[in-house]
């Protein structure tokens, strides 16, 4: 039973309110809900970027709600890939460097990280954009770079926060197909937060939230 | 550590290279702060020392001093003073006035009119070359002044004064301490009568006296007051030095306070420029934290970056500080700042400990500024989650400043402010 309460001003915000969710491995799970339903909060708690006010989270057979900040960071570095709505690429780095960054953070050699980043950029169809910086790429291309970055550490769990939210419908379709292929071909687990019904159509399971509680799923 | 250095090279340096103006301003802040660290205390100490040395050079070893009205007083007072019991030496104190010397009239010399028979008992004259004054028409010249202008011993020079042009022969060159140090060596010493001719009257300005051993100064003062005209005042020369000392104490206090304020501003400048530079990369820190960079590594990265720019800025700042000190030493003149003091250029020397303190401040403060704020920006909640498309800081400030006015507008229009729960996707 997960709960997260925060206060903003004098108002208590119950982002998650007694919620129990089971996410099976190697599945594409969509979390849906209206604005303020708590879906992003759930995603950030799973990623270890936020802590629940009460409740337990079991991830990879570990109780991550008891982990220290450093342990959560280590978990994110090795086992979780994050994809954001606004891409969150570092603007000063090229596409290749952005993708290689998680490996470099992990202490890998630059040459090895670059080689793997090249392979992944080829996988997402950006072999010809290696040296381009984010501001020289379209929204769809930036999201592909972000996906490649999330894949480089071979994380079994990908968490995507509205990955198609800033993209046009055609590019959004391409990104969703790419994510779906990752589950089918590479046996990854993807949890995707979205309020787009069409996006949720690509998922194996849909969890719908309302006022911090599970409605369906 | 390799990962931290890679992050520093890949993100910090790249960020700095991309935001050239921001980097330049950060460096300028450190340069200005460190230059201030070097310049302000050096200037304060140099001015204080210069005032003290000038006072000592001019006052010499005199015990008492006779002063008169602004227009001076008759030389007969000197003869009277010499007859008073207990007085060992009485000399007309130097008649100080500025004149030019041909062919270079641009920089005025300080002329001292002295009595060669008695004056050496009171003031120090160190002759580097030649001999002391014997007769009218002879002068002693500061050695440095002579060297700068190619003047040499036994050469004749033309002195330009308010009363006309006069030829003199250089019979000695003064160097070292004492009178040669006055006005940074730009000094011309001649017989009192020659100086009176240059001045256009025979009046004396002051008389300096030394006492015989074991004499009570107050008793001699009383006798002098009784013997001299009432328009003349007799005081301890120490009183004059005391007044100079008071002025010096005040000057020390003012300069010390000014230095403290400037150093405080410099320190704040150094700290703030780095703290702002770190704050502007909050979004980047958020992304790095989300990708698995620990707080400790974020700290390390910013500390290395701050140390790098701190060292770079400090080295440039120290060079600028030394340049400012040299420039001040060459261009500042005490007469501009302190009219009661005799002429004397400031000899600016940076104390050995100051560059170390400046380097410590220039590197340490930015490192502190990099160390302190970095770990507080962790993406610990969705609201603090990393987003790069946040509005610019200036817009956030403007909104924050507008808030009270917006509330007033709501009240005056009858709109009741509601405390809606925030919406979040």
Lowest mean pLDDT, pick from A32-36, B53-57, B304-308: B53-57
Q: A30 CA to chain B: closest CA distance, Å?
A: 14
pLDDT greater at residue B124 or residue A14: B124
Closest by Cα among B362, B329, B361, B338 to B42 = B329
- CB environment B102-112: b (16+ within 10 A), e (fewer): eeeeeeebbbb
Q: How far is CA B369 from the centre of its chain?
A: 29
Beta-carbon separation of B3 and A107 below 8 A: yes
- CB environment B337-352: b (16+ within 10 A), e (fewer): ebeebbbbbbebebee
- Which chain B residues touch A35 with a CB distance below 8 Å? 423-425
Instruction: Report the 3 state secondary structure along A38-83.
Output: CHHHHHHHHCCCCCCCECCCEECCEEHHHCCHHHHHHHHHHHEEEE
Summarize chain A as % helix, strand, coil (round to 5): 40, 25, 35
Which pLDDT belongs to residue B346? Answer: 54
Residues in chain B whose Cβ is within 8 Å of chain A? 2-3, 6-7, 10-11, 14-15, 17-18, 283-284, 286-297, 378-383, 385-389, 419-425
Residue A55: which region, alpha, beta or left (left: phi > 0; alpha: psi -120 to 50)?
Answer: left
SS3 A190: strand
A19: part of which helix (H) or strand (E)? strand A11-19
Q: What is the pTM of this model?
A: 0.63
SS3 B77: helix
Which pLDDT belongs to residue B377? Answer: 47
- A2-89+155-216 CATH pick, 3.40.50.300, 3.40.50.720, 3.30.300.30, 3.30.70.150: 3.40.50.300
User: What tens digit of pLDDT does each residue of B348-371 get?
Assistant: 677 888 888 888 888 888 888 778
Whether pLDDT at B214 is above 50: yes
Beta-carbon separation of B381 and A44 below 8 A: yes
Whether pLDDT at B109 is above 80: no
User: What tens digit of pLDDT does each residue of B61-92 get?
Assistant: 788 888 888 778 888 898 899 999 998 888 88
Which pLDDT belongs to residue B278? Answer: 75
Directed axis angle between helix B295-331 and helix B20-59, to 10°?
40
Which pLDDT belongs to residue B252? Answer: 67
pLDDT greater at residue B388 or residue B218: B218
Which pLDDT belongs to residue A130? Answer: 94
DSSP B229-288: -TT-EEEEHHHHHHHHHHHHHHHHHHHHHHHHHHHHHHHHHHHHHHHHHHHTTHHHHHHH
Under 8 Å between Cβ of B267 and B361: yes
pLDDT greater at residue B52 or residue B46: B46
CA angle B267–B272–B277, rounded 5-degree value: 140
The answer to whether the Cα torsion of A138, A142, A148, A152 is positive or negative is positive
Neighbours of A63 (CB within 10 A): 10
| Dist. CA B305–CA B14, nearest whole Å | 11
| Dist. CA A178–CA A195, nearest whole Å | 19
Beta-carbon separation of A50 and B295 below 8 A: no
- How would you class B284 by CB atoms within 10 Å of its CB: exposed for 0-12, middle for 13-18, buried for 19 or more? buried
Beta strands in B23-86 (DSSP E): 64-67
Neighbours of A173 (CB within 10 A): 16
Q: How many helices (H) and strands (E) does chain B have?
A: 13, 11
Mean pLDDT of chain B: 76
- Which chain B residues touch A192 with a CB distance below 8 Å? none
Which pLDDT belongs to residue B386? Answer: 42
User: What tens digit of pLDDT does each residue of B215-263 get?
Assistant: 888 899 999 999 999 889 888 875 555 555 666 677 667 777 776 777 6
- Which of A105, A106, A139 to probe by mutation at the B interface, max B CB count within 10 Å? A105
Which pLDDT belongs to residue B419? Answer: 39
Who among A50, A76, A107 is closest to B380 (CB)?
A: A50
Whether pLDDT at B342 is above 50: no
Distances (CA, A) of B289 to A47, A75, B248, B386: 11, 12, 57, 9
What mean pLDDT comes out for the span B269-284?
76
SS3 A150: helix
Which pLDDT belongs to residue A129? Answer: 92
Which pLDDT belongs to residue A85? Answer: 87
Taking only the tens of pLDDT, chain A with its 217 residues reads 566 666 555 666 666 777 888 888 899 999 998 888 888 888 988 998 888 888 888 888 888 888 998 999 999 999 999 999 888 999 989 999 999 999 999 888 889 999 999 999 998 889 999 999 999 999 989 999 999 999 898 899 999 998 988 888 888 888 889 889 888 888 889 999 998 888 889 999 999 988 888 887 6
Beta strands in B75-163 (DSSP E): 87-92, 95-101, 109-114, 127-130, 138-142, 156-161
Backbone angles phi, psi at A190, to 5 degrees: -125, 130
Whether pLDDT at B401 is above 70: no
Who among B292, B297, B419 is closest to A76 (CB)?
A: B292
CA angle B317–B319–B321, rounded 5-degree value: 65
- Which chain B residues touch A10 with a CB distance below 8 Å? 419
| Dist. CA B50–CA B348, nearest whole Å | 9
Beta-carbon separation of B422 and A8 below 8 A: yes
Directed axis angle between helix A95-105 and helix A110-123, to 10°?
130
* Domain extent listing, chain A: 2-89+155-216
Whether pLDDT at B21 is above 80: yes
N-term to C-term CA, chain B: 38
Which pLDDT belongs to residue B7? Answer: 83
Beta-carbon separation of B381 and A49 below 8 A: yes
- Which chain B residues touch A101 with a CB distance below 8 Å? 10, 291
Whether pLDDT at B136 is above 50: yes
- Which chain B residues touch A42 with a CB distance below 8 Å? none
Neighbours of B397 (CB within 10 A): 10
Which pLDDT belongs to residue B210? Answer: 86
Integer-rounded Cα radius of gyration of chain A: 17
Beta-carbon separation of A49 and B382 below 8 A: yes
Beta-carbon separation of A195 and B425 below 8 A: yes
Number of inter-chain CB pairs under 8 A, A vs B: 119
Q: Which chain A residue's Cα is nearest to B383?
A: A41
Q: B309 CA to chain A: closest CA distance, Å?
A: 19
pLDDT greater at residue B410 or residue B309: B309
- Which chain A residues touch B292 with a CB distance below 8 Å? 73-74, 76-78, 102, 105-106
- Which chain A residues touch B381 with a CB distance below 8 Å? 6, 44, 49-50
Which pLDDT belongs to residue A214? Answer: 84
Whether pLDDT at B122 is above 60: yes
Which pLDDT belongs to residue B107? Answer: 65
Tokens of residue A103, six digits: 């490996």
Pair type for strands B64-67 and B206-211: antiparallel
Who among A86, A101, A104 is closest to B389 (CB)?
A: A86
């Amino acid at each position: 039973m997960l709960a997260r309460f925060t206060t903003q001003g004098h108002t208590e915000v119950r982002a998650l309110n007694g919620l129990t969710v089971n996410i099976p491995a190697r599945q594409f799970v969509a979390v849906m809900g209206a604005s303020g339903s708590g879906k992003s909060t759930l995603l950030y708690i799973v990623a270890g970027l936020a802590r629940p006010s009460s409740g337990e989270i079991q991830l990879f057979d570990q109780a991550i709600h008891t982990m220290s900040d450093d342990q959560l960071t280590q978990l994110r570095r090795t086992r979780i890939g994050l994809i954001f709505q606004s891409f969150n690429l570092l603007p000063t780095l090229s596409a290749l460097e952005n993708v290689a960054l998680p490996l470099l953070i992990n202490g890998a050699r630059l040459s090895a990280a670059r080689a793997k980043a090249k392979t992944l950029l080829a996988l997402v169809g950006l072999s010809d954009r290696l040296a381009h910086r984010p501001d020289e790429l379209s929204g769809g291309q930036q999201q592909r770079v972000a996906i490649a970055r999330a894949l480089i550490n071979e994380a079994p769990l990908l968490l995507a926060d509205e990955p198609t939210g800033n993209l046009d419908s055609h590019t959004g379709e391409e990104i969703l197909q790419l994510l779906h292929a990752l589950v089918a071909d590479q046996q990854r687990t993807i949890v995707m937060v979205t309020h787009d019904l069409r996006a949720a159509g690509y998922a194996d399971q849909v969890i719908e939230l309302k006022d911090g509680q599970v409605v369906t799923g | 550590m390799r990962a931290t250095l890679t992050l520093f090279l890949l993100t910090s340096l790249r960020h700095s290279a991309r935001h050239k103006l921001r980097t330049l301003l950060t460096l300028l802040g450190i340069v200005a702060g460190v230059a201030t660290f070097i310049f302000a205390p050096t200037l304060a100490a140099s001015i204080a020392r210069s005032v003290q040395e000038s006072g000592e050079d001019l006052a010499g070893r005199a015990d008492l001093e006779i002063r008169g009205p602004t227009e001076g007083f008759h030389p007969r007072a000197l003869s009277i003073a010499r007859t008073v019991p207990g007085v060992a030496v009485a000399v007309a104190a130097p008649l100080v006035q500025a004149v030019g010397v041909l062919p270079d009239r641009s920089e005025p010399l300080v002329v001292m009119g002295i009595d060669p028979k008695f004056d050496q008992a009171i003031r120090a004259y160190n002759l580097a070359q030649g001999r002391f004054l014997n007769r009218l028409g002879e002068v002693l010249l500061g050695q440095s002044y002579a060297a700068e202008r190619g003047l040499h011993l036994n050469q004749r020079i033309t002195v330009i004064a308010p009363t006309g042009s006069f030829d003199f022969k250089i019979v000695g060159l003064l160097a070292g301490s004492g009178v040669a140090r006055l006005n940074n060596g730009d000094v011309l010493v001649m017989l009192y009568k020659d100086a009176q001719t240059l001045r256009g009257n025979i009046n004396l300005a002051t008389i300096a006296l030394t006492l015989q051993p074991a004499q009570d100064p107050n008793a001699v003062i009383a006798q002098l007051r009784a013997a001299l005209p009432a328009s003349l005042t007799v005081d301890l020369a120490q009183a004059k030095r005391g007044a100079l000392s008071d002025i010096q104490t005040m000057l020390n206090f003012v300069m010390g306070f000014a230095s403290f304020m400037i150093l405080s501003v410099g320190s704040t400048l150094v700290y703030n420029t780095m703290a702002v530079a770190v704050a502007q990369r909050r979004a980047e820190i958020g992304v790095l934290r989300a990708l698995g960079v620990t707080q400790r590594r974020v700290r390390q990265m910013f500390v290395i970056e701050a140390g790098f720019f701190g060292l770079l800025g400090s080295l440039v700042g120290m060079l600028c500080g030394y340049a400012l000190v040299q420039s001040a030493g060459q261009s500042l003149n005490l007469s501009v700042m302190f009219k009661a003091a005799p002429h004397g250029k400031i000899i600016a020397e940076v104390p050995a400990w100051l560059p170390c303190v400046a380097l410590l401040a220039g590197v340490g403060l930015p490192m502190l500024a990099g160390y302190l704020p970095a770990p507080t920006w962790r993406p610990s909640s969705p609201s603090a989650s990393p987003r790069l498309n946040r509005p610019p800081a200036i817009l956030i400030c403007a909104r924050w400043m507008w808030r009270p006015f917006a509330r007033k507008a709501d009240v005056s229009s009858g709109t009741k402010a509601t405390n809606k729960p925030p919406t979040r996707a």
